[in-house]
Amino acid sequence: MKALKPLLFVILAGLVLASAVMAEEKAAPAATPGPNMISQAKFPITVQTGEYDLQTMILEFPPGVGMSKHMHGGSVLVVVLKGEMTLIDKAGERVLKAGESWTEGPGDQHSVVNAGTTAAKVVVSVLLPKGAEPTTMIKQ
């Protein structure tokens, strides 16, 4: 029995030490760094009840490439990720650079082109009512 007491003490001390180490690992998880916000875009939108699809696309436009006059069946948010895009709509013509954005309402007619010398990349999000056409080209 005398030899058993030191052995039990060592086992108990080991369990206490292991428990303390495990508790410390659970209590202090490694902090994960947060993201850096590069750009933020938002716009007010009112939608009727019903079903919608949210479509998000990343498009790349080589220099000189664009889309002629067209419109979308839902609300659109476009953010320029790289390069620059020229937007032509009812407000006129404007150049949007990386980090800038524009919005389009359903049925707004417009065209876009990469008039720059390097490739442009945009992310396009469309809130599209079920059954609506994503893009309709306008015959000129």
The pLDDT score that the predictor gives to residue 27 is 55
User: What is the pLDDT confidence band of residue 89, given thresholds at 50, 70 and 90?
Assistant: very high
Which residue is associated with the tokens 């407000």?
Answer: 91
2 has a pLDDT exceeding 80: no
Are 55 and 126 in contact by the 8 Å Cβ rule? The answer is: yes
CA angle 84-81-125, nearest 5°?
A: 110
pLDDT in tens, 62-87: 999 999 999 999 999 999 999 999 99
The pLDDT score that the predictor gives to residue 23 is 56
Ramachandran class of 92: left when φ > 0, alpha when ψ lies in -120 to 50, beta otherwise = left
pLDDT in tens, 128-140: 999 999 999 999 7
15 has a pLDDT exceeding 50: no
The closest of 80, 90, 76, 69 to 118, measured between CA atoms, is 80
Are 104 and 78 in contact by the 8 Å Cβ rule? The answer is: yes
Sequence ranges of the domains in the chain:
52-137
Prediction pTM value: 0.72
What CATH superfamily is the domain 52-137? Answer: Jelly Rolls (2.60.120.10)
The closest of 52, 39, 40 to 132, measured between CA atoms, is 52
